[in-house]
Amino acid sequence: TTLVLAVLCTPLAAMGERPTVLIIASYHKEYLWQANYQAGIMEKLGTDYQVDIFEMDTKRLPKSEYKKRAQLAWEYYEKVQPELVFLGDDNALRYLTPKFAETDTPVVYLGINNNPKKYGASDKKNITGVLERPLYKQSIKMLQVLLDKKPRNVMFLFDDGVTTRAVVSMTFRNKTKLRIHGVPVQVKRVGTLKRWQETVLSAKEDGFDAIVTGGYNTIKDEQGQHVPITQIGQWTNAHTPVPMFSFWSFSVAADQTIGGLVLFGKSQGEKAGELALRILKEGVSPGEIRPAVSEKGRYFFSQTQLKKWGLTLPESIASKAEYVD
């Protein structure tokens, strides 16, 4: 009896087995933001842990399917019984917080655009994580330095998904017209491919000098089908009458946006991994760890796109810039 009890109480690592952690991702592995943050998590955890992943796929599935996917994620969690759970992006946190709040399993969220309090995730003893905030004020400052003529009007162009609604609510306080560093800014949310194309094509005629996109991940065609991100990015690059920048690294490419002061998914994953290791290895309670912000952003550009628009980075930006091509 004593021997059996000793075996049952021995940590998995001491028995030569790797403890399991579970990533419940809101989206799908082909979405670069998710692929990048997962790489960041795994890099931090190293080979000490078995990492399982469940994808909710909510960028492509209709909202009517979200609760069903959340339930399947929960059932997978019950099957795996991990030592710790990562909840990637807003939908995972929104739909699964009520369940995890009733457990003792440590939870680390990441990529959260809204206030975690809105999902019931604040002040929970077993939940902490990493917030995601687009660098919109700094992006306007960058445009004032980078463009030959200081921008008179700038468009922040988003899809109409859950992430966008969280950003507009949390970051812009649901305002669609802003003045940032003296520059008038309009926030536009678009749900369909037809409307996206109309908005881009008329940008110059409507008085905009530049567009900064917050993503085009949930755009649907006339049949209600999800349109691949690369398809939208390539079309936009070919047809936009004004320079198009980005808040996130995943849409920076030779055939998509110019870039800008962007957030990286890998940095989110690395920060979440650091928090997880404090919990798993140091025994710190998640409730004792304040929610973190992963980074201040990095200058990241496509040289192809800079050349296309005749833009030269000033030394203050060039000295810190990284390039996708």
> Which tens digit of pLDDT belongs to each residue from 270-287?
999 999 999 999 999 999
Q: Identify whether residues 246 and 142 lie together within a single domain.
A: yes
Q: How confident is the model at residue 107 (pLDDT cuts 50, 70, 90)?
A: very high
**Residue 28's closest CA among 169, 226, 167, 291?**
226
Q: Does one domain contain both 124 and 271?
A: yes
pLDDT at res. 117: 95
Could you tell me the maximum CA-CA distance found in the chain, to the nearest angstrom?
Answer: 81
Residue 1 — pLDDT band, cuts 50, 70, 90?
Answer: very low
Q: Is the pLDDT at 101 greater than 70, yes or no? A: yes
For residue 16, the model assigns a pLDDT of: 55
Total domains present in the chain: 2
Q: How far apart are CA 252 and CA 259, in angstroms?
A: 5
Residue 302 has pLDDT above 50, yes or no: yes
> pTM for the full model?
0.83
**Pairing outcome for strands 210-215 and 177-180:** unpaired
pLDDT value at 8 more than 90: no
Residue 64: pLDDT band by 50, 70, 90 thresholds?
very high
Question: Tell me, what amino acid is at 192?
Answer: T
* Confidence check: pLDDT of 83 > 70: yes
- What span, in angstroms and rounded, lies between the C-alpha atoms of 93 and 244? 31
Task: Specify whether 155 is located in the same domain as 242.
Answer: yes
Residues 97, 209: one domain?
A: no
- The residue segments making up the domain with residue 310 are 136-262+298-323
Same domain, residue pair 115 and 180: no
In terms of domains, do 172 and 255 share one? yes
* Confidence category of residue 163, pLDDT binned at 50, 70, 90: confident
Q: Tell whether 216 and 199 lie within a shared domain.
A: yes
pLDDT top residue among 322 and 295: 322
| Whether residue 117 is found in the same domain as residue 215 | no
Q: Is 128's pLDDT higher than 80?
A: yes
In this structure, the answer to whether residues 185 and 313 fall within a common structural domain is: yes
| CATH of residue 50 | 3.40.50.2300
236/252 same-domain check: yes
What integer pLDDT is reported at residue 171 of this predicted model?
Answer: 84
Asked if 35 and 152 sit in the same domain, the reply is: no
Between 64 and 11, name the one with better pLDDT.
Answer: 64
What Å distances lie between residue 178 and 145, 149, 155, CA to CA?
19, 20, 10
Task: Output the pLDDT for position 15.
Answer: 47
pLDDT of 10 higher than 80: no
Note whether 274 and 220 are same-domain residues. Answer: no
- Per-residue pLDDT averaged across 218-235, rounded? 94
